[in-house]
Amino acid sequence: MRKSSNFSGAFNFNSLLSSMLLLTAALFLFSGCVFDESGDPSAAPDGANGLYELKGVITSPLTRLPLSGINCILISSPEAGGEPYDIYKTAVTGPDGSYFFGGLKAGRYKMASFADGYIPCETLFSVDSDERHSLTQISKAEWTAVFGPARPFDPAKAYIRVTADVFPQLAGTEDSGVQISVSKNGDTSSAQPYEARGHQKTDGTIDWNASATYDTGTALFYGVTPNQSHTVSAGKQGHEFASASDVTPSPGVLTTHILAGNAAVDGFAVTIENNTLAYKAENIYLAVTGKDSGGAFHYFDINKKDMVNILDPNAAANFCFSLSSIATVENGVTKYRYTQPFRCMISGKSYIFLGKPGHIGVDKIAKSLSEPSADNETLDKYTIFDKYELTCDGQVTLNTTVVDFLGIAFKLKFNSDGVDRGFEVISNDDIANEFLKRTDDWKKCVIKDAKGNIMRVSAPYTLSDFDNYLSKSIAGAWAHYGTNELNVTYDWNFRGKVQSDGTFKIDIRNSNSDTIIETRTIPYKPDSKMVFKCDGEPMPNTKTPAVNKLHAFICAALNRGVFGQSDMSKNFYTDNTINAGRFNVYAQILHQKAIGNRVYGFAYDDFYGKDTTGTKSYAEARKGIVITLPKMPAVKK
């Protein structure tokens, strides 16, 4: 897979080389393959476990033949979990020129490659899925043929090579016509930070007069100021490219950076603000899913920067992408942002996982998506994650959705209005602690792992402890309407009473007419689980629109403890003689902690002005949205 890179920080290749050459030389002599413990190169990818592969081949730029015996040292960024520029893994290319590194955590890396008779190279990578890169290593004997006699190799100078890598892959010309620039950071002068810029042709030689890339997609910058940070960027009409800041070339080294480009898509910016403190960017994962107009499931592919059908052969390994993979630097500040396409985002759901990727799968027989499971101990029960609704179907809809559980107290907003939705908490555990303070069964909604870390707060319908919790409240309402008439208007007018046989007969009228348009008989009292879940017998949501609205209204009123009141639009979650003090405390607490006291605590929590959904036109949505992650408590290990 081809990727963009954004790797900051100075790295002295010559210092590393001199200190490591003697140590590694003996090992390289006895090894023709990877000698770390990264695993069998032929083994299946382990991306599902949050670990990835980096592999490829190294060839001569002129002959295109594979180069064996090239020493490779993969160096981790501090963000990848190690000390700054620790030696992470080592390898030597085999007879086919291949290199392989396995067991990599998501993050940013540099690979130093060198051998006797070759110009040392340094290649920058970002890793958040399995990677494959074909690289070239220039021998000292080839330098003049590649660069020309007018530009000899000088070990006191630095050299930057930039490769534009354009998706989708076409017939081989997609990397041509790209204009690539290098600028020295902090330099306000008009002088170029390099002596010459050229573009590599398919025969491996450099055209120093061309203004854009050939099919190789490669530009070379000769005589760059060494040990100073630079920014590399690229542009091509109809395409969007990642950029990289603080690329710092070492003297006598060919520093290579790969910039990913994608066909521009019609969409809007999604910015993730990471306030967790406890989780680095490479340990936070996103997965974005939706459907097309025909109902086929799609996901956002970070490599292609577009929505891709889940039946794509590479889909399952690419559902999740890390925050570090969408990092950009703006005015010295790191931002995490991607462009969300409008297309294929009907019924869209976006997931965020903390610590490791979630389990999202494909049911190829049903051609459907297998969502993460908060209940399965072998899957995601002990992963902190949550989702928000992001739907594009002629307009853009953004909403929190905590009807199943609350794992992450998101804050959401459209930039067009700046209105915050969701939660504003000091720490993510603030909401769970409201449950833990209780002395009744509601504290059982808090799910912890074996070490005491809070994973989430679960809705009552998912817990057997609440299977009969609303029985007295439901019985009280049925008894009340045995002697009193239900007469309420919400889109339609509903009038009826509970019959002597226990059925609830309700006539449905248009709101401005006395003519009965249909009659609904609810055959028996619903149970607590059905009410908490807001669907199922005897009140399923598979009837006519009017009956579905009636069922939704009754479920909402029973959850709030107001079914039977003359005015069901107020006094939510208050003890009275009908509800016997039984209502949905999960929803009550979420409302108390939510911004403006508005959040979906159950499926029909939008009745009477409690809807938190934000809806914007495509023009307004193009101004972007922001998802803010709250501070997370330190992980107990």
pLDDT digits (tens, 9 = 90+) for 128-148: 667 788 899 999 999 999 999
* 207-230 average pLDDT score: 94
Residues in the chain: 637
CA distance 21 to 12: 14
Dihedral over alpha carbons 477, 479, 485, 487 (to 10 degrees): 10
CA–CA–CA angle 178, 182, 187 (5° rounding): 150
Report the alpha-carbon distance of residue 118 to residue 4 in Å, rounded. 26
**Is residue 508 scored above 90 in pLDDT?**
yes
Q: What is the mean pLDDT of residues 427-434?
A: 96
> pLDDT band at 188, cuts 50/70/90?
confident
* pLDDT for the residue numbered 49: 54
Of all residues in the chain, the percent with pLDDT exceeding 90 is: 69
pLDDT band at 171 (very low <50, low <70, confident <90, very high): low
Q: What average pLDDT does this structure show over 595-610?
A: 88
Average pLDDT over residues 359-383: 90
Q: What percent of the chain has pLDDT over 70?
A: 89
What pLDDT sits at residue 10?
Answer: 41
Question: Whole-model pTM?
Answer: 0.70
CATH topology of domain 1-141: Immunoglobulin-like (2.60.40)
Residue 22 clears pLDDT 70, i.e. is over it: no
Does 209 score more than 70 pLDDT? yes
- Which amino acid makes up residue 363? D
Of 3-12, 58-67, 465-474, the poorest mean pLDDT is in: 3-12
Residue 363's pLDDT is: 86
- Work out the average pLDDT over 590-618: 90
Report yes or no: 205 and 146 within 8 Å, Cβ to Cβ. yes
**CA–CA dist 262, 433 (Å, integer):** 45
pLDDT of residue 449: 95
Would the pLDDT of 28 be above 50?
A: no
Of 603, 438, 436, the closest CA to residue 531 belongs to 603
* pLDDT at res. 31: 30
The pLDDT tens digits for 274-329 are 999 999 999 999 999 999 999 999 999 988 889 999 998 777 678 899 999 898 87
Residue type, 43: A
Residue 168 has a pLDDT of: 66
Residue 41 pLDDT > 90: no
Q: Which residue type, as a one-letter code, is found at position 583?
A: F
pLDDT at 239: 85
pLDDT at residue 151, rounded to an integer: 96
Residue 1's pLDDT band, with cuts at 50, 70 and 90, is very low
Structure confidence by residue, pLDDT tens digits, 556-583: 999 999 999 999 999 999 999 999 999 9
Whether pLDDT at 100 is above 80: yes
Q: How far apart are CA 254 and CA 270, in angstroms?
A: 35
Question: Alpha carbon 568 to chain centroid distance?
Answer: 40
pLDDT of 44 higher than 60: no
pLDDT of residue 612: 80
Residue 34 pLDDT greater than 50, yes or no = no
- Band the pLDDT of 258: cuts 50, 70, 90: confident
Model pLDDT, residue 174: 85
How does the average pLDDT of the chain come out, rounded? Answer: 87
| pLDDT reported for residue 46 | 44
Place 265 in a pLDDT band, splitting at 50, 70 and 90: confident
Torsions phi, psi of 449, nearest 5?
-90, 180
Which pLDDT score is estimated for 48?
44
CATH node for 148-264 = 2.60.40.10
Over its C-alpha atoms, the chain yields an Rg (Å, rounded) of 30
Q: Note the pLDDT tens digit of each residue in 382-421.
A: 999 999 999 999 999 999 889 999 999 999 999 999 999 9
Give 2's contacts (C-beta < 8 A, 6+ positions apart). Answer: 131, 132, 133, 165, 167, 258, 260, 303
Domain positions in the chain are: 1-141, 148-264, 267-443+612-629, 471-583
**Which H or E run includes 391?**
strand 384-392
| Pairwise pLDDT comparison (10 vs 341), residue with the higher score | 341
